[in-house]
Amino acid sequence: MVVTILGDLVAEEGARVPGPVLTKLTDPMGIKPEAMRVAIHRLRRDGWISSERDGRTSLYGLTEHGRQLTRSVSDRVYGTSIKSPDRWRILIAPNAETLQGVDHFELIPISPRVAVLPAETVELPEALFAWDAIPGVVPDWVKAVLVPEELDTAYALLADALALAAAFGTPQSPVDQAVLRLLALHQWRRLVLRHSTGVEAMMGSKWQGALCRSVITDLLHRLKRPDLSNLAT
């Protein structure tokens, strides 16, 4: 949650969140101060966040490493849609080890020796049998391989929860608006980063994940990124 907060509110270089504002946001989420201290310590140790003092107040922000990682997934988290590749590359490997050696996030394993990859220029092991194909209808058995049932259910539950929150209207206070935005964004982020954009493109627009993207896009549009000065008062 700390990474979600900083990534959403202070992703720019030099931007910082004051400790009291961080507490004001996490208290309504039920995050205890001791849990926050442990999380901040671990994130600083792992090079995700940095802190500095301004008088008696601690200021927290992302390190350059943290900003780079945040930017690398920004389109996947905040994008309103996922563009499907014009062509796919089908890969057949002589063994599972060869396929596991393909270091590319968009690789979509279908079986231990078969995978699909958006057709782009990537270096592939010579042992792979690869050819391009025009995308067609993805059968249900492939979709079942791509997305476990529990992930499909998690997307559906999140979409329902966001729709219910929308039905209650927009919270009045800036803090409550920010808390709702960050809670929704965090849960969405946890799900959408479990798979590649290629998986979402293959699943199609009627998939629960794609429907959830539409709901989260609407929520983020209604609950704009808050101004830190409004949260500090």
Residues 148 and 227 in one domain: yes
Element (H, E) at 222: helix 208-222
Residue type for 104, please? H
Instruction: Report the CATH number that the domain containing residue 194 is assigned in CATH.
Output: 1.20.58
Residues 119 and 151 in one domain: no
Residue 61 to residue 48: CA distance in whole angstroms: 9
Query: Given this model, what pLDDT does residue 131 score?
Result: 87
Query: Given this model, what pLDDT does residue 99 score?
Result: 84
Query: Given this model, what pLDDT does residue 71 score?
Result: 93
Long-range contact pairs involving 191-196 (C-beta distance under 8 Å, separation at least 24): 191/151, 191/154, 191/155, 191/158, 192/76, 192/77, 193/73, 193/76, 193/77, 194/151, 195/146, 195/147, 195/151, 196/105, 196/106, 196/107, 196/108
Strand order in the sheet with 17-18: 17-18, 57-62, 49-54
Number of domain units in the chain: 3
Residues 46 and 6 in one domain: yes
Residue type for 31, please? I
Instruction: Report the CATH number that the domain containing residue 32 is assigned in CATH.
Output: 1.10.10.10
Does a structural domain hold residue 78?
Answer: no
Residues 223 and 159 in one domain: yes
Does a structural domain hold residue 190?
Answer: yes
Dig out the tokens for 162 from the structure.
Answer: 């966001």
Residues 154 and 105 in one domain: no
Residues 103 and 123 in one domain: yes
Q: Which residues of the chain have pLDDT under 50?
A: none
Residues 62 and 101 in one domain: no
Residues 154 and 209 in one domain: yes
- Residue 6 belongs to domain spanning: 2-68
Residue 162 to residue 165: CA distance in whole angstroms: 5
